[in-house]
Structures are given as structure tokens and as C-alpha cells.
Amino acid sequence: MTRAYFGSSGDTPVPADFSGDGRTDPAVFRAATGLWAVRGVTRAYFGAEGDLPVPIDQAGEGPAQIGIFRPTCGLWAVRGATRFYFGGEGDYPVPADYSGGGAESAIFRPGTGLWAVRGLTRLYFGAAGDYPQPGDYRGDGTALPALHRPASGLWAIRGSTRLYWGGGDYLPVCW
């Protein structure tokens, strides 16, 4: 597929493997109504205005599940699975597989540079104005904290590398 039209103005793209076939499915979250629409897979209502969409594969075996982070109170909710409190106002949700056993719930707090992975670790990396970009940058199945600093074009992967690409008008694709 080279081009597809899916969603409406104001929808948040939330691509993930919702079907469990190993491929990323086009999907959107419409905060005003809590609609999750996954092209060719499902439509569901979960979440509300102010929630941040968090597709997550907690078991690490696919498919991704519909989830939200509610920054006003730190609520994480995975549809039909779990609810818990972790993080709060101003935090970015950054779930990823940091341990090799499935995605962990995690937050990045730009005011202090805190990365907190629920039940696993806390570390400091980054600052206000940075966009968190965790990912499997080593190809070993585990994510590393990484960030993009639009003001300078800095891309940094904790414990790995730093490079400059882009600038103030460029934003990372995840945000």
C-alpha cells in the first residue's frame, strides 16, 4: 500500500499491529468521542477528551491492545485488561519493551528529564522541550530511551549515540 485515506481532521494517528499479523495497521483515536478506528480490524469506544492514546502489547506476542493514559490523574487503562495509576500531568506516556518480555508502561517527564519504567527502573535523560522517542535501536528486541530536541535538531539514544538532523521546524513522527 502506498497511499490510504483514513480518519478525519483532529484524529490522532495510532499505528500498531492490532490484528496480530506482524504488520502495522493504520488506526486513529478521536479524543472528542473516544473512538478508536483500526482500518479493516475494529472500531471501539474507549477514552475521553484529554486522554492520550497508548496502543500497547503488554505480553510481547501481539496484537496491540487499545489503551489510554489520562495525564490529569496518571491513569493507565488497557481495554478489557487492566487499570492502574502511574505518572501524572505533563508526563508523556512512552510504553515500550524495555526488558525483552513485552511492553512496560513508562513515562517521560520533560521538566526533570525523568524516565520511569513501571516496576523496572528510573533514570534521567533529556529536558523540557525534548520529545521522547524510545525504540529498539540495537535490534535486540529491547527499547532504549531516546529523544529528539527540535530546537537544535539533536537526536540522542541513551548509552549509544547522538547526532544532529533537522531543526526547529522538524518534529519526530511519533509526536
Tally Cβ neighbours within 10 Å of residue 140: 9
pLDDT confidence band for 28 (50 / 70 / 90): very high
pLDDT tens for each residue of 1-10: 567 788 899 9
Per-residue pLDDT at 169 exceeds 60: no
Residue ranges per structural domain of the chain: 9-87
pLDDT, greater one: 60 or 63: 63
pLDDT tens for each residue of 30-55: 999 999 999 999 999 999 999 999 99
Is the distance from CB of 39 to CB of 27 less than 8 angstroms? yes
